[in-house]
Amino acid sequence: MSEADAARMEASLTAVADAGIDIRHALFDRFFAAFPERRASFMVVDASSRRMTDETLQMMFGLAKREGWVWPLVAELVFTHRAYGPLPIAEYDAFIDMTVAELGAAAGGTWSSETATAWQRHADALKAMIRRARAEWESAMPVGAPQPAE
Ligand code: HEM
């Protein structure tokens, strides 16, 4: 299952790269339209939008490939993001779902229901991992940890 998912996911990443589409622009427009009050948290959208988009895609693809580096990267992400203020878990969920949706929009004809299912499976795994990382920081370092998962 996971190998087939990874192959489908890689094909859509390649299709979007071949089409020369940089999904971060539409993704961040959509994210800020949904959460306008979050716009002020970003000092350098151009730099952050590259890294947030790339790393979100890499984490989902890494989960499909069962890569061991995903967990430490997610744990670090959740910890460093505490510097940006209290970020509701719903915004993480929305950002991940919007990343998949924008990739699908950019992939055009190469996007199938199987491709969507593959991305969604690992999007959901990433959301669960973010919740776990927030809960573990909360219990390990109650003072200064990212806010509780809910
Ligand atoms: C899986 C989801 C996410 C990933 C992988 C991710 C990754 C990143 C990375 C790599 C950076 C750049 C850090 C640096 O250059 O030092 C960053 C910055 C940032 N992220 Fe995220 N992020 C995610 C979700 C979110 C969400 C949901 C929010 C808001 C609700 C958010 C808010 C920010 C802010 C405010 C910055 C700093 C921007 C700036 O100073 O310009 N991130 N993120």
- Find out if CATH 1.10.490.10 is the number for domain 2-140: yes
Confidence of residue 6 (pLDDT cuts 50, 70, 90): very high
Distance 17 CA to ligand 1 centre (A): 22
pLDDT reported for residue 148: 58
Is the CB of 44 within 6 Å of ligand 1? yes
Query: Given this model, what pLDDT does residue 65 score?
Result: 97
Q: Where is average pLDDT lowest: 49-53, 98-102, 104-108, 146-150?
A: 146-150
Residue labelled with tokens 């988009």: 53
Burial of 144 (0-12, 13-18, 19+ CB in 10 A): exposed
- What pLDDT does 7 receive? 97
Chain-centroid distance, C-alpha 68? 17
pLDDT, tens digit (0-9, with 9 covering 90-100), for 110-148: 899 999 999 999 999 999 999 999 999 988 887 766 665
pLDDT at 32: 98
> C-alpha dihedral over 125, 57, 100, 150, to 10 degrees?
40
Per-residue pLDDT at 147: 62
Q: CA 52, CA 57: separation in Å to the nearest integer?
A: 9
The structural domains of the chain, with segments of one domain joined by +, span: 2-140
Mutate to test the pocket of ligand 1, among 30, 46, 52 (most ligand atoms within 8 A of CB): 52
| CA nearest ligand 1 atom 7, residue | 52
pLDDT one-digit tens code per residue, 45-87: 999 999 999 999 999 999 999 999 999 999 999 999 988 888 9
Q: 51 CB under 6 A from ligand 1?
A: yes
